[in-house]
Amino acid sequence: MDAVAQYWAVADGVTRGVALLLLAMSVAAWVLILWKVWLLRRVAGDTARALGAFWDAAGVDDGRRRLASLDRECVLQPLVDAAMAQPVSGTLDARGDDEARITRRLRDALHGSVARLQVGQVVLASVGSTAPFVGLFGTVWSLYHALVGMAAQGGQGLEAVAGPLGEALLMTAAGIAVAVPAVLAYNLCGTWIGRLEAEFEGFAFDLRRMALDGTGRRAGDEAQAA
């Protein structure tokens, strides 16, 4: 801590700006990490309970009611609504065949549900990829000013050079310390999101099969036609 305080005391505006930027990146990354871990754990638990409750329901309406109480992040309900929604008469949507329409709606709903889980991933990736370079820039800037200052004071021994150079390397260490948790969280959350996306895709496929009969027409159309 003494080294950090001494470094801050002699730092110029650019160096302090870089340090504050790294601090802001670290705070943002950790807030996102904690929030995403909480969110993904919540969605994973809700999904496991909600899917079982939906398929145990007596009908679609009953299944929707069960989802409404268990799907707290609303990532499964849009899939059910997309599969069971009726086309609006007189629209291009109504002119297409049922299979294509249901597939398109399920695809859009699936993308929306996955996008809810991917919020913050870009920030984590950006922090993980840029923080080391921000820290390196701070180190280079500090080294430059340290060397210029020592040159202006005349020749000095290695002992006088080692102190400022060692303090300048703190920026590189800080950049790495900010980047490592962000990269790890990005990879772990990405894997977690991928597993949830596979669950959503399976649910969407089952809903599509339920909404359509074997010929590609909506289930129940032939009965209504008869």
Return the pLDDT at 219: 45
Residue 54: both structure tokens together: 């939906």
Please state, for a pLDDT cut of 70, what percent of the chain lies above it.
78
Average pLDDT value for residue range 122-128: 96
Return the pLDDT at 107: 94
Q: b/e string for 49-87 if b means 16 or more Cβ within 10 A?
A: ebbebbeeeeeeeebbebbeebbeeebbbbbbebbbeeb
Q: Identify the residue whose tokens are 């950006």.
A: 126
- Domain-by-domain residue ranges, the chain? 2-219
Residue 119: both structure tokens together: 């919020």
Return the pLDDT at 140: 86
Q: What is the pLDDT of residues 163-174, one digit of tens each?
A: 566 667 888 899
Task: Please determine, for residue 224, whether its predicted confidence score (pLDDT) is greater than 90.
Answer: no
Torsion sign, CA atoms 173, 174, 179, 184: positive
Q: pTM here?
A: 0.80
Please state, rounded to an integer, the average pLDDT across all residues of the chain.
84
Q: d(Cα 208, Cα 83) in Å, to the nearest integer? A: 6
Please state, for a pLDDT cut of 90, what percent of the chain lies above it.
54
Q: What is the pLDDT of residues 33-47, one digit of tens each?
A: 999 999 999 999 999
201 closest CA partner among 107, 83, 91, 66? 107
Q: What is the pLDDT of residues 47-83, one digit of tens each?
A: 999 999 999 998 888 999 999 899 999 999 999 999 8
Q: What is the pLDDT of residues 86-103, one digit of tens each?
A: 877 777 766 767 888 889
Task: Please determine, for residue 220, whether its predicted confidence score (pLDDT) is greater than 50.
Answer: no
Return the pLDDT at 34: 97
Residue 166: both structure tokens together: 């060692």
Return the pLDDT at 164: 61
Q: d(Cα 123, Cα 212) in Å, to the nearest integer? A: 40
